[in-house]
Amino acid sequence: MYKKKPFFIVFEGVEGCGKSYQSNKLFNNLKKKKIDVILTREPGGTKSAELIRNLILKDYFLKNNKEKFDKYTDTLLYLAARNEHIKNKIRPSLLKKKIVICDRFTDSTLAYQVHGKKVSNHFINNIHKEILKGVKPNIVFILKVSVKTSKIRLKKRKTKNRYDNFAQSFYTKVQKSFLKLAKNKKNYYILDSSLNDKSLENKIFNIVNKSLKIK
């Protein structure tokens, strides 16, 4: 029998893996069960964090402009958005014993910034110690996608940001990083999302069901 408790679920993966779609499906499935759940995302999730998101994700420099954010400036913006998000939404929701579903969290910073852009891991870990203060996911779903499927999904997107336009080699490197981060961790689930069908939705719901003891 389900007993109300704080529970933090995170979806991770490269662009086009279907994490936003599946996190939304899980949210709706839990709602049907009358579970107190919220769906949020990173970067973003609060008014102030969404402002930072817009700054990060928009193609805010002209293509012929040589000046771009340094990778550490870029990373600090992500971490600033995360601080706002944790302080004003994630932690308060968990304290109220809600289930929080988040589209991206700390593993995205490690996969994209540390492994993808070679930002210092030590630099990020030090800041995380200050802003996380014990907030960590109970379950992390890593959605693994084929190169072909990812390309098709990205082409179909009506609105794109700069992270949808990286070279395929970058996405391949980042996906490998996600898989490495999940290795030997009991609360991490690597699932193939190339089809992104009903069976994947059911598989995710069953894993959460088992953890929360929902009937």
Task: Answer whether residue 116 shows pLDDT above 80.
Answer: yes
User: What single letter denotes the amino acid at residue 161?
Assistant: N
Q: Tell me what the mean pLDDT of segment 141-164 comes to.
A: 66
Return the pLDDT at 62.
42
Tens digit of pLDDT for each residue in 158-194? Answer: 555 555 556 677 778 888 999 999 999 999 999 998 8
Q: Residue 50: CB partners within 8 Å, gap ≥ 6? A: 44
Tens digit of pLDDT for each residue in 29-54? Answer: 999 999 999 999 999 999 999 999 98
Return the pLDDT at 61.
46
Return the pLDDT at 214.
84
Task: Answer whether residue 6 shows pLDDT above 70.
Answer: yes
Domains delineated in the chain: 7-212 (3.40.50.300)
Three-class SS state of 147: helix
pLDDT band at 134 (very low <50, low <70, confident <90, very high): very high
Q: How far apart are CA 191 and CA 186, in angstroms?
A: 14
Task: Answer whether residue 133 shows pLDDT above 60.
Answer: yes
